[in-house]
Amino acid sequence: MKEFYTIGEVSRIFNIPAPTLRYYDSIKLLSPWKKGENSYRYYSKAQFEIISMIIFMRSIGTPIKRLTEILNDDNAGGVQGELKRCREEINNRIAELELLKTKVRVFDDNIRDTCYESDISLVTLPEMYMMSKPFGEEDELDIDEIINVTSGATGWANTAGLISTITPENLLAGRFHDYEKYGYISEIPFASSNSYTEVIKSGKYVVGNMKIKTVEHFEADETYKVMLDYINKQGLKIKGPAIERNILDLYCGNRFSPTMFFKIYIPVG
What is the per-residue pLDDT across 224-250, written as a single tens digit (0 to 9) for each? 999 999 999 999 999 999 999 999 999
pLDDT, residue 145, reads 84
- Is 183:194 a contact under the CB 8 Å cutoff? no
The answer, yes or no, to whether residue 140 has pLDDT greater than 80, is no
- Is 156:191 a contact under the CB 8 Å cutoff? yes
> Whole-number mean pLDDT of the chain?
92
Q: What is the 8-class DSSP label of residue 238?
A: B
User: H/E element holding 144?
Assistant: helix 143-150
pLDDT, residue 257, reads 84
pLDDT, residue 250, reads 94
Phi (first) and psi of residue 115, to 5 degrees = -85, -5
Phi (first) and psi of residue 221, to 5 degrees = -60, -50
More confidently predicted of 169 and 39:
169
Closest CA to 206 of 177, 233, 173: 233
C-alpha span between 121 and 77 (Å, rounded): 61
Angle at Cα 62 formed by Cα 56 and Cα 67, nearest 5°?
Answer: 90
CATH of domain 108-267: 3.20.80.10
In the chain, where the domains are located: 4-72, 108-267
Amino acid in position 50? I
pLDDT, residue 216, reads 82
* Res. 220 pLDDT band, cuts 50 70 90: very high
Domains 4-72 and 108-267 share a fold: no
Q: Which fold has domain 4-72?
A: Multidrug-efflux Transporter Regulator; Chain: A; Domain 2 (1.10.1660)
The answer, yes or no, to whether residue 172 has pLDDT greater than 70, is yes
Q: What would the mean pLDDT of 144-156 be, rounded to a whole number?
A: 82
pLDDT, residue 182, reads 93
- Is 203:130 a contact under the CB 8 Å cutoff? no
Q: What would the mean pLDDT of 24-37 be, rounded to a whole number?
A: 90
C-alpha span between 145 and 131 (Å, rounded): 10
The answer, yes or no, to whether residue 155 has pLDDT greater than 90, is no
Q: What is the 8-class DSSP label of residue 81?
A: H
Residues β-bridged to residue 44: 4
C-alpha span between 165 and 26 (Å, rounded): 67
Q: What would the mean pLDDT of 5-27 be, rounded to a whole number?
A: 95
Give me the percent of the chain exceeding a pLDDT of 90. 75
Q: What would the mean pLDDT of 166-171 be, rounded to a whole number?
A: 97
Q: What is the pLDDT of residues 124-135, one digit of tens each?
A: 999 999 999 998
**pTM for this entry:** 0.79
pLDDT, residue 38, reads 78
More confidently predicted of 26 and 35:
26
* Res. 139 pLDDT band, cuts 50 70 90: low
Q: What is the 8-class DSSP label of residue 157?
A: G
User: H/E element holding 10?
Assistant: helix 7-14
Pairing state between β 128-134 and 242-250: unpaired
* Res. 151 pLDDT band, cuts 50 70 90: confident
The answer, yes or no, to whether residue 137 has pLDDT greater than 80, is no
Residues β-bridged to residue 262: 210, 246
Of the listed ranges 8-12, 133-137, 165-169, 260-264, the least confidently predicted one is 133-137
Q: What would the mean pLDDT of 107-133 be, rounded to a whole number?
A: 93
Q: What is the 8-class DSSP label of residue 159?
A: G
C-alpha span between 183 and 231 (Å, rounded): 26
